[in-house]
Structure 1
């Protein structure tokens, strides 16, 4: 059972790739490999995947290559299977500096860390576990995933629908995170650790753009009302 949050508690919904982890998460290769299992030998058209949900990317690969979009669930299953490689030494992803410290400090301060990610649940836990992220600092029951959503705003809409009165803050690294937050009237704190520059993130409606989770730790804490705890985390990282 999930504990009832305090009135001051913020539900902080974290993106994964480029926010908590180095922006290398398999990229297009994973999608192409998963499609190839279901449709071997088909030449696939390229897809720009950054900031989109897994389902959206799979559907775009299928439709762009003349394949039935209705096969998306089969491809997503294969994507989950492929994600087990992130638990193996040769394919582990890297946690970004300050990620574990920020998660732990915010939880200690009474906030709730959830995920709002384009990844399926299996891909999310395999990527984070393999990268050494402390998954115990994340409340999985209050997380939202891109398994069944063809657009990212559909994921933020689900978060707002489930918690209509709660303060929810999205932390992410792409303008699509900002667009999705705005669509559900949620706050967006950007981290410029992905492939987009600060100007692009400001333009997407971010209330603040942090250079990273180390130098931006104090600002993150101030924005969430947990400055003292996150400042301690920043000192640990330094």
Structure 2
């Protein structure tokens, strides 16, 4: 049976060291012709929701999603050099991805609040993009509600691989309670990693099946993620 792994990006695969918030602020400034007074709040939300909240909190008219997405893409490209300089791959991640890639029946993709262009930039900044079938993923431009993304990624993977993906063979790996909730509502198992701002206790309270401190114990992480 094929197995689908859906990875979050920020604070799960990589640490962006504040560059994500800089992208939102830069995109806002491009659209509003002013710096934001109220900073972006992320907390595992999608790009659509983060930017909409920024417009509301700063009392700026929403210019519409097409313009907002274009501004986010431009800001992401502009800040890629800074991301490469200050960001990094989290402990154990590259080795875990390499080991999983050797499993013939395992498909790896992403479910992330980032728009697809910026998710790709972030992964490519650290040579991680080739581990994933990005066409089977779901992104912050697809829906404002993160809960929709797991269901959408499963549907895309089913079309691409002519397989059925349900709670038995789909796993989300993420670092926030929103990742946990999205997996549970989207019909997937969740492996939470406490590599973001939320603690192991908070992730368990959100309903995570399994919580790892990080992926530095590669053998244990593989066993947990692959359900073995």
**TM-score, scaled to structure 2:** 0.86
**TM-score, scaled to structure 1:** 0.83
The match for 2:191 is: 189
Q: 2:181 aligns with which of 166, 179, 182?
A: 179
Partner secondary structure for residue 69 of structure 1: coil
Q: Is the 8 A contact 1:58 1:72 kept in 2?
A: no
* Runs of at least 5 residues in structure 2 that lack an aligned partner in the other structure: none
The match for 1:22 is: 15
Q: Is the 8 A contact 2:31 2:68 kept in 1?
A: yes
The match for 2:153 is: 159
Q: 1:126 aligns with which of 108, 121, 126?
A: 121
Q: 1:142 aligns with which of 124, 132, 136?
A: 136
Q: Using the alignment, how far apart are the partners of 1:23 and 1:206 within structure 2?
A: 24
Partner secondary structure for residue 150 of structure 1: coil
Q: Is the 8 A contact 2:136 2:154 kept in 1?
A: no
Q: Is the 8 A contact 1:55 1:149 kept in 2?
A: yes
Q: Using the alignment, how far apart are the partners of 1:69 and 1:223 within structure 2?
A: 43
Q: Using the alignment, how far apart are the partners of 1:43 and 1:172 within structure 2?
A: 28
Question: What is the deviation of 1:69?
Answer: 3.0
Q: Using the alignment, how far apart are the partners of 1:25 and 1:169 within structure 2?
A: 27
Q: Using the alignment, how far apart are the partners of 2:7 and 2:18 within structure 1?
A: 15
Aligned CA RMSD, in angstroms, stands at 2.0
Partner secondary structure for residue 15 of structure 2: coil
The match for 1:222 is: 223
Q: 1:203 aligns with which of 192, 202, 205?
A: 205
Q: 1:49 aligns with which of 19, 29, 42?
A: 42
Q: Using the alignment, how far apart are the partners of 1:23 and 1:198 within structure 2?
A: 20
Question: What is the deviation of 1:122?
Answer: 1.0
Q: Is the 8 A contact 1:38 1:75 kept in 2?
A: yes
Count the aligned residue pairs: 217
The match for 1:3 is: none
Classify 1:151/1:226 alpha carbon distance in 2 versus 1 (closer, same or farther; 3 Å).
closer
The match for 1:170 is: 172
Q: Using the alignment, how far apart are the partners of 2:40 and 2:75 within structure 1?
A: 19
Answering whether residue 66 of structure 2 is matched by residue 73 of structure 1, we say yes
* Runs of at least 5 residues in structure 1 that lack an aligned partner in the other structure: 1-6, 228-238
Q: Using the alignment, how far apart are the partners of 2:19 and 2:28 within structure 1?
A: 14
Q: Using the alignment, how far apart are the partners of 2:30 and 2:89 within structure 1?
A: 29
